[in-house]
Amino acid sequence: MRAFLGMGLLGANFVRALLKKGVPVNVWNRTAAKATALEADGAKAFANVVDAVKGAEIIHVTLKDDASVNEVLEIASAGFQPGAIIIDHTTTSVDGAIERTKAWKARGFTYLHAPVFMGPINALESTGTMMVSGDQTIITKMTPILSEMTGKLVNFGDEEGKAAGLKLTGNCFLVTFTAGLADTLALAKALHIPVKDVAALFDMWNPAAMLPARLQRMTAGTYNRPSWELNMARKDTQLFIEAAEKGGTNLAMIPGIAAAMDRFIERGHGNDDWSVIGKDSI
């Protein structure tokens, strides 16, 4: 039997998927109604987290952050059976994942951080990506169980906290990607360009295909053979800002990018490839 703590969109669908596979699951959530709603799918809901984990060999966690994981696990630990395994799917800090691994091991329990790039539908369909790193003996033991929950289980080696770091890195890209798209739509609005025309542009021209080459160019450390000079990119960036201001629209990311460009131009990189703005990040 397994226990699942945290019945948000991801946790609830993880539970539904396990139940469909015939795995008995105890569930708990701070808002009890979210746990009891899963009884219709065959889960056993508990109002008390200590009762929820009693008899569970594996305890899955899908909570908000380091603080909530620490608080809930500490309370729940009164019900842990000897040798229980904690699998934490929460997006947390690297330090938090490392500290919990060490602390729970000292108390006789196994803690494995297994963050995911999965939405609710992925959790229900057992698709998407789950990541692990750390003690390879533990990971080898848990691989068959975790592999059934995801489309791809990626093992990043024996460095504790590496999976947590890669999860944060990936989420950083998602946040900046979405914010960049928001600025793109804001500029289009200021220029009186309909969303459907923006969509048509990206149907015809897919900038996502440039990602591998752009990453390679930014990290190669060679910027003196530009395909787009920083001075010219900065000129265009100013046009974005001025058009948005004229159209009464605010841009969230572009002013910060313009400031970064200015710093690199002041350092003498104006004639270099514009990807030089990533130089200090490598």
pLDDT score of 160 = 97
Question: Tens of pLDDT along 99-124?
Answer: 999 999 999 999 999 999 999 999 99
Q: Return the H-helix or E-strand segment holding 2.
A: strand 2-5
Per-residue model confidence as pLDDT tens digits over 255-278 = 999 999 999 999 999 999 999 999
Rounded to the nearest angstrom, the gap between the alpha carbon of residue 275 and the centroid of all alpha carbons in its chain is 25
Q: Is the pLDDT score of 208 beyond 90? A: no
CA angle 84, 69, 35 (to 5 degrees): 80
Integer Cα distance of 262 and 257 in angstroms: 9
Counting other chains too, the contacts that 22-31 makes at CB distance below 8 Å and 24 or more residues apart are 25/1, 26/1, 26/2, 26/52, 26/53, 26/55, 26/56, 27/3, 27/52, 28/3, 28/4, 28/52, 28/53, 28/76, 29/5
Q: How many residues does the chain have?
A: 282
What stretch of H or E contains 154? strand 152-155
* Contact between 81 and 26 (Cβ < 8 Å): no
In degrees and rounded to multiples of 5, residue 75 shows phi and psi of -65, -45
According to DSSP, residue 223 is labeled -
Q: Which residue segments constitute the domains of the chain, with CATH numbers given?
A: 2-158 (3.40.50.720), 166-281 (1.10.1040.10)
What pLDDT, on a 0 to 100 scale, did the predictor assign at position 281? 85
Q: Residue 280's pLDDT is what?
A: 87
